[in-house]
Amino acid sequence: MEITYKQNKEKLTVFLSGSYVDYDNEEEKSILYEKSQSRTIKEIVVEADDLKNWDSTLVVVLCKLRTIAQERKINYNFSSLPEHLSRLIDLAFSVDRKPTHSDSEFKCYLERLGNIGVNAWKSFCRGCHFMRLSWSSIGRLLIGKAIFRKVDFLFSLEDCTYRAVGIISLVSFMVGLILAFVGAIQLKNFGAQIYVASLVAIGMTRIMGAIMAGVVVSGRTGASYAATIGTMQVNEELDALKTMGISIIDFLVLPRISSLIISMPFITLLADAMGILGGGTVGILMLGISPEEYIKYTTDALNMKNFLVGVFHGFIYGYVIAICGCYYGINCGRNADSVGVATTKAVVSSIVWMIVVTGIVTAAMEVLGI
């Protein structure tokens, strides 16, 4: 089992005969490579009429000879190789595995600004299309035609309900405590620190409870959605679902959207209660307000309108967080780094769009007098 060669003027002929399984003669291979790199050689020909058995060790040698011929820009003739061996070598050279570096010219400011605008518009259109698909999926769910597994819905509901109670309670309690401290600084100047109870009650129930619950859920549940679906994209599970004719919007997105839409109003109410409790801790223990007075001013400030506004914010936040998490998970790349990028984008986009929606809803409430 050896590779022989013959040099005839400017042509190097390599003879392959017999079996080449586990071919590991490094000295023989180095001599052959050195000979093929000689300046006198203008053509490399492989004769393999008597070739019998072979494995990948022979393929490595032949690929190396072809690489040398291409680098030196000389002729090579591998036509006598068996068809399957020849196809394997052609396949090895069919894809350029080296990353290409584009030498594009420097673009002017207006052109770069235009590209940014075009890319932003395309991203906006993709997001609107994804939202339309989600609304269609919700419509199919309402009429009982969605491909929807109950176990997926219950699993998502479990993840964003009682498992999130601890961190939601802690964060909301601290926000209520801080809100009471900040309000007391100014109210003390007028001797009106008793109104800290009203300030905390209105602030938490109307907007702050929903915002803090949304921020925590976006970092906890929204990131989980993006990472889970992004990992499925990397493992080509989404491609498998599409191949089987299963709608990934119904199968993956719909359970997550529905679970967050249902759970976020209740999480918002929990955040409201814990924020009021945090404000009461400051008012009673540090500002010298009696428990009876604090409870009285809190109940006087509370009304159903503020509760409903906060619950409506929680409902909207649930949809926004689920859409952002699922969108970036489905549009994730095919490597591990892309999963991390998708998770980060999901959390950032959720918080940004929550703030945008808050501004829109607050302006609408002001116009409507709510």
- Tens of each residue's pLDDT in the chain, 370 residues: 667 778 787 888 888 888 878 777 777 788 888 888 888 888 888 888 878 888 888 888 888 888 888 888 888 888 888 888 888 888 887 765 555 555 556 677 788 888 888 988 988 898 899 899 989 988 888 888 888 788 888 888 888 888 888 899 999 999 988 888 888 887 777 777 788 888 888 888 888 889 999 999 998 888 989 999 999 888 888 888 888 888 888 888 899 999 999 999 999 999 999 999 988 888 888 877 888 888 888 888 888 888 888 889 999 999 999 999 999 999 888 887 888 899 999 999 999 999 999 889 888 888 887 7
- Specify the pLDDT at position 20: 78
Query: Is residue 41 one of the residues assigned to a domain?
Result: yes
Query: Is residue 98 one of the residues assigned to a domain?
Result: no
Q: Domain of 71: which CATH number? A: 3.30.750.24
What dihedral do alpha carbons 230, 231, 234, 237 form, nearest 10°?
Answer: -100
* 79 and 155 co-located in one domain: no
- Specify the pLDDT at position 183: 84
Distance CA 59, CA 80 (A): 14
Distance CA 162, CA 12 (A): 76
- Specify the pLDDT at position 101: 56
- Specify the pLDDT at position 317: 92
Contacts of 330 (CB under 8 A, 6+ apart): 130, 229, 233, 238, 248, 252, 253
> Which domain covers residue 9, as residue numbers?
4-92
How many domains is the chain partitioned into structurally? Answer: 2
Q: How far is CA 319 from CA 213, 316, 360, in A?
A: 13, 5, 15
CB-based burial, 166-177: b 16+ in 10 Å, e otherwise: eebbebbbebbb
* 83 and 142 co-located in one domain: no
- Specify the pLDDT at position 132: 92
pTM: 0.68
- Number of helical (H) and strand (E) elements in the chain, helices listed first: 15, 4
Query: Is residue 125 one of the residues assigned to a domain?
Result: no
CB atoms within 10 A of CB 154: 12
- Based on the number of CB atoms within 10 Å of its own CB, is 360 exposed (0-12), middle (13-18) or buried (19 or more)? exposed
Hey, which residues does 45 pair with through a beta bridge?
Answer: 13, 77
Half-sphere exposure (Cβ direction) of 352: Cα atoms closer than 13 Å: 8
- Specify the pLDDT at position 1: 61
* 179 and 323 co-located in one domain: yes
Query: Is residue 339 one of the residues assigned to a domain?
Result: yes
* 140 and 77 co-located in one domain: no
* End-of-domain residue from the set 92, 122, 155: 92
Query: Is residue 113 one of the residues assigned to a domain?
Result: no
